[in-house]
Chain A
Amino acid sequence: MREQLLAIADDELVLGWRDSEWTGIAPVLEEDVAFSSIAQNEIGHARAIYRLLSEDADALAFDRAPEEYRSSQLVELRFVPDWARTIARRVLYEAADELRLRRLMASDDPAVAGLAAKIDREEAYHRMHAELWHERLRDEPRYLAAVDELFPYTLAMAEPDDHESLIARFEPKTVASNTVLQAHARGSHADGWSELWEEMTEVRRSVPGATW
């Protein structure tokens, strides 16, 4: 359970970071505000889950070695300035995240179930935002290609129990082989992960042991 929660928190932290890269440069101002706000929410969710796991959420977020993070490759990929891939990731991530949140909400641990319910109430708006974009871009070849490209990463991020439901929902042209899923599995990281880790932890590492 701990491992699972850590994976979810790492996903939320890293996706929050990646989405925040759009702050100030999104295609329209309204989307800039919405995206930044969603990114902040995701980082807030990561913080709440880290708190559940440890007294020191900052240490979990910033003091681990890059190979210790449990984030999925889907959230690690850098897409700026590619809006089609960025939206495809939001849509796919929210779909997979909804399934695992639902399972957490049914947890026997009241602290976990309670936090999951709280997070889900915010995620509902993220899902609404993602759905709007999905509807709007559903006939755009660039967007559809991005969904197909990122679908294997989504399966690798999700629990095997959720694969069937995700495949039924997105109807990908081909379903990734086990070899592909293995290549994208948690524990191995996407290209660009070490640069992202460097940036994320740079300030914290600049004065080790400081109280901020």
Chain B
Amino acid sequence: MIYEVFRQERKGVAFEHAGSVVAPDEGFARAYAHEQYGRRGESAALWVVPRDAVMEVEDFVDELNRNYHRVDGYSLKAKLAEARARAAAGDR
């Protein structure tokens, strides 16, 4: 059985995916995760989750290319540069 391991580098920061371990049950998964992702003091805490328990969501369709829904759809940087240029030219 495969367990996914998430690692918190220090207290208070977000957990990040560290990797996985193969183990016959939860007890071994815990021990193996502890040795593989914690033995060098590189982790403050771990989350160990059976891979099956992780719900994967990956169906992100955008057939009509509505890029204004996306955070990168509106380029603030370019607009800002233009606005600054106009302001500098006294063109209000």
Contacts and interface: CB of A to CB of B under 8 A. Distances in A.
Interface of A: 28-31, 33-34, 37-38, 125, 128-129, 132, 135-136
Nearest to B39: A37
A34 B32 contact: yes
A34 B35 contact: yes
B32 A30 contact: yes
Contacts of A132: 27-28, 31
Interface in B8-31: 21-24, 27-28, 30-31
Interface residues of B, number: 13
B43 to A, nearest CB: 14
Give chain B's interface secondary structure class.
Answer: helix
Contacts of A28: 22
Interface of B: 21-24, 27-28, 30-32, 34-36, 39
21 contacts: A28-B22, A29-B22, A30-B22, A30-B28, A30-B32, A30-B35, A30-B36, A31-B32, A33-B32, A34-B35, A34-B36, A37-B35, A37-B39, A125-B34, A125-B35, A128-B27, A128-B30, A128-B31, A132-B27, A132-B31, A135-B27
A29 B32 CA distance: 10
Nearest to B29: A30
A33 B28 contact: no
Contacts of B30: 128
Nearest to B28: A132
B2 to A, nearest CB: 11
B29 to A, nearest CB: 9
Nearest to B31: A129
Contacts of B39: 37
